[in-house]
Structure 1
Amino acid sequence: MTSTGEQRVGAGRDGPLWWGRRRSAVLDVGLAAASALECALEGVAFAGEASLPVPVGVVFGLLVGSVLVLRRRWPVAVVLVAVAVTPAAMGFLLAVVGLYTLAASEVPRRITALLASMSLVGTFLVTYVRTQGDVQADRWYVPVVSVFMAVALTAPPVLLGLYIGARRRLMESLQERADSLERELSLLADRAEERAEWARQEERTRIAREMHDVVAHRVSLMVVHAAALEAVAGKDPAKAVRNAALVGDMGRQALTELREMLGVLRSPVVTAGPAASAASEASVGSVPVVSAVPVSLVAAGQVSGAVDEGPCLAELEALVGQSRAAGMVVELDVRGEVRAYPREVEQTAYRVVQEALTNVHKHAPGARVVVRLAHREGEVAMQVENGPSDAGVAGAGLPSGGNGLVGMRERVLGLGGVFVSGPTEAGGFRVSAVLPDRVRPAA
């Protein structure tokens, strides 16, 4: 049996053999030397009483006292030796230190109680016998002195050892809990950083998608009108003037929307007040954890608020009219009872139709387009289908980044909807989306 904490391998272990630290080894060797000296002196009296040569008694005392050096390694053996030499009236330091070490160790309490009782009884009997033979006094004197000596040499070291052992175990438990809390806090911090980075990435993607929707459609129409303006400038001045006016209006609209979005990005971040700061504190055990909101997320939240104030389904007719003004043949088919939807749903539906029309301008100039909008129970569906491109109509030469369909899919799936796109049998292209009438974010 080993004592508590002394045999555990841990950081900072620098002692020899079974000692965890060097100073522990020095302390035990010093106690063993003092115990050996005490037992050697008591061995002289023991040799006289047992009719043994004095050197034998001295050597016996040295050996008995030196056993104390093993107190951390085998505390039970040290106490047993102390109990065994009690009749020889030697080893008081050995018994006291041995009992303390035994009580403070991880030895089962029943074994500690048994050995402590053996030491108590042994000390009582030896004291009783010696006192009764040396003193002629009242009959109560000898038992009282014997009990006092037995309790005085046994109870204090045992109680002190129990207290020190319990305190050591408590400190170790608190240290383990602190380490565990530190690991949990580190894990929570890592997860919070991951969530913050994920949120920042989501907002960056959303802002990029919004700017793509705002710029791509307006600029695409501007390019189409500019091409038409170039074609009719010398033939039909009146139509050229109208096209120029349309290009100017669309350019101003695009600049206005970009200015609003960039203004939100440049606006100062509003810091949280005392109430919000107090509400952000959480307690994990006895360690407070304060959650910090990254500045970029607050700014992103402002951008989200600005983005939510985007277009709606009521503006769909005007959107289709812009494409018609650019020379595209567009048919708008609205079915079902018109009703209001959450802002995110209306904005997403508008952006899907807008991006689909932009793709027609880019990839299928001169194609006939049908825009269908259906108000159903619990959902709203939209479909933009174009026929094959008119070979006689020259393309506008608009660049394509390949992000239009990806952005539409992300928008629709983000609200828990369904998105399908692909070519038709007639050689055209179809974009279909279904959105729930209430916002149900996808997992």
Structure 2
Amino acid sequence: MRPWYTVVLDAVIALGCALLDPAIREGFAPGEIYSPLSPSLSGWLTAAAGLLLLFRRRFPVAVAAVVTGGLLLGTGSVLTVTVAYYSLARYTRPIRTVGIAAPLGLVTVLAIALVHLQRLGPRHGMAGPYRGVLLTVVLLAAVILPVLVGLRPLGRHPGWWENRRAMLFDVCLVVLFPLANPVVVLTSNEVDNDALLLPVPVFAALVPLAGLTLVLRRRYPAGVALAAVALLPLVLPPLSTLPVALYTVAKYGRSRRQLLMISGAAAAMLLGWAYFTNLRVVTPLVMVLLVSMVGVPVLLGMYRGAKQSLLVNLRERAERLEREQHLKEAQARMQERARIAREMHDVVSHRVSLMVVHAGALEAGAGGDNEVARKTGALIGQMGRQALNELRDVLNVLRMDGADDQDPAPSLPTLDDVTTLVEESRSTGAPIALDVTGDPRTLPADLSGALYRLVQEGLTNAAKHASGAPVRVEVRYLTDAVRVRVENDAPHGPSGTELPSGGRGLVGLGERVTAFGGTFTSGGRPDGGFAIEATVPLAGR
């Protein structure tokens, strides 16, 4: 599905060509444009050729062929041909097709242009060299440049332009404004040749060449402006590129002194042109030219340049503030993590270490007199040392300064360690049954660790709230999922020991399981027991 703006763009281009091409043809006198058809039919076919550009993206070769064939009947213009051949090069996949169609179109355009120049030349006094210049300009604008631009892939910053929109705007300035000026002059019946310092054919060739310099206006603004000032006496001021050049210098120029010098030279050149023509005094017309061609472009360019500089400065400032904010947030996070690590080390590590020391004393003091006490002390010491190791791994993670730290990740337990976990819980005297069904498989470390923590949380809750009640742990490896369930029967009485509870264990487990795309349920059973269950799909893992 094509984006809506491309459809709108194609419709605007097609409608513009369908309206402009017949209007340009009507500016010529009868017989000056070759066409074996009647003027009415030729005009309608010209408009139809412009409307064909609606299909330029889907059928570029067919559109280019029809538009080129229409030239033989006198039903086309340079504008339609330009768009058709750009689309041919831009949207035709086989480069060999473009290599065959473009030269054929170039030959056809050359032949039709020669026929038209043979008709236009005698009326306007065009000699051979002047016809050659016009012919070159037509071939460049109609076929050569569109094909080259269409073949060249455009990035986000093509050439020296800021973006593709800026490039297309400058190309439109060259194609639609300077190249159309000679047509206006040559087809007008009221051309004041006294106002021209050059013959009409030379003028008609010079204006497009001066207009081509606008392509470089963003890269060499001062050079383009100086060229426009130098050519100002040779062309009519209304057809000069001077306003665009001065606007560019005011917006992209390097210094205000340079802008002042170029603007002063342009004003002096305008006054000189007015003096050497019939306008020998400062008349309102000269004042209008000075204001419209020098004053307004310079002021508008300075405004746009200042606005652009302000936006750039604001954007840089916003980016700098955003980077500083990110740094402050990262620093605050690291300080908070360091504080948590210190608290855990000072409090939890100290308490667990005391438990391990007392467990060792219990084991050593019992000796062989009390085997149960000796085993209990050894078990408590083993669990305490394991807790200290896991706590050390967690503290190392909290103390990491950022993603660049190369500290090894903590060795998380996996679902394969559930057997060891169950045996440790059984050693306390709890009746726990373990049932593992299906084909065990290697799971991702984070998923396997989350399921291990689920079993650990279930056994811990059973020891807290249903001490002595039977507990069942089920691990089922299904075809496309893994299911873990921990359930305990109703407690026989109140628990003998009261253990603190954070109240967030089940909530955290649910969040972790949901993050893996699984389902988590927990709650009481009808017989007074409690069960937690998680099912995690293995598709894509």
TM-score class normalised by the smaller sequence: 0.3 to 0.5
Answer 1 or 2: higher relative contact order, Cα 8 Å, separation at least 6. Answer: 1
Normalised by the length of structure 2, the TM-score is: 0.40
| Larger radius of gyration between Structure 1 and Structure 2 | 1
Normalised by the length of structure 1, the TM-score is: 0.48
